[in-house]
Amino acid sequence: MWIWLVLLYGLLKGGREIVKKKSLEKNTVLEVLILYTLLSFVFILPTVPKAGGVEWKIMIFIALKSLVIFTAWILSFKAIKQMPVSLYGIIDLSRVVFATVLGVLVIGETMTPAGIVGLILVCVGLVLCNTKKSSEKEKVQAKIIIYTLISCLFNAISGVMDKILTRSITSTQLQFWYTLFLVIYYLLYILITREKIRFVSAVKNYWIWILAIMFVIGDKALFIANQMPESRVTVMTLIKQSCCIVTILAGKLVFKEKNIAFKLFCAFIIISGIVISTIF
């Protein structure tokens, strides 16, 4: 069951990338991030009665997880605005490696031979998929690359924290407090930076509403999967890469991108890696 839940998360994550791109046609990055996080919290407000009973030590840990994700999102958006998407995609691959290493070192998971083969196939598929020939060589500042690497590391850390937290609290408790802390961090960010947010314009952007719904459902599925004792971070990290299937298909159907046949071949390699790591 946990495999299907993580697969659902991965597919929704891929869908979120498409919806995010559509939502950014009308609003800024910060406006989209703030409103869809706020809407997500509103959607899960009915779970308040089930969110209580969390010890203060666990609450601090949840607040830290939210801070990690908040920082990762800010850095990733800053990076992707200033570097070629193809380069960002390759560097973003490092989160798979980070998550695998952390899963082994922190949680004590073991990598089976099939898991290692699956990891290699997923990495190869992602590298090929994100490699793009271009006649123009763009120089990227070292700090931007560092931003991307930190973002990938923080996302991997968050994944490990999910597994640790769900040993002590329910998926409902984690989702409620994690989202609440994210909202608080964004509001503090606005107050400190004094950036102008067009809330009226953002509310009218229906893509942001869709983004929030996908975010709530995807995270719920992921947290439930983490709560299952048999789930493993190292395998979940690979299954999450199923998001590329959605982005590739949407690239052809929605954005009319080229070289889809080659990208589908890359997706086949990635899927093969996921299947090998989960079945064998």
pLDDT in tens, 102-116: 888 888 888 788 888
The pLDDT, as a whole number, for residue 271 is 77
Selected residue with higher pLDDT from 128 and 120 = 120
Lowest mean pLDDT among 30-34, 71-75, 131-135, 250-254: 131-135
Q: CA of 173: how far to CAs of 13, 46, 67, 105, 212, in Å?
A: 21, 12, 17, 26, 18
Find the mean pLDDT for residues 225-248.
Answer: 79
Contact indicator for 245, 11 with CB cutoff of 8 Å:
yes
Global pTM reads 0.81
The pLDDT, as a whole number, for residue 276 is 82
Q: In terms of Cα–Cα distance, which of 211, 161, 175 is closest to 14?
A: 211
Lowest mean pLDDT among 70-79, 202-211, 250-259: 250-259
Contact indicator for 65, 158 with CB cutoff of 8 Å:
yes
Cα gap 213→190, rounded to integer Å: 23
Contact indicator for 270, 121 with CB cutoff of 8 Å:
yes
Selected residue with higher pLDDT from 256 and 140 = 256
The highest-confidence range among 65-79, 125-139, 212-226, by mean pLDDT, is 212-226
The pLDDT, as a whole number, for residue 134 is 44
The pLDDT, as a whole number, for residue 105 is 85
Selected residue with higher pLDDT from 31 and 16 = 31
User: Per-residue pLDDT for 138 more than 80?
Assistant: no
3-class state of residue 139 by DSSP: coil
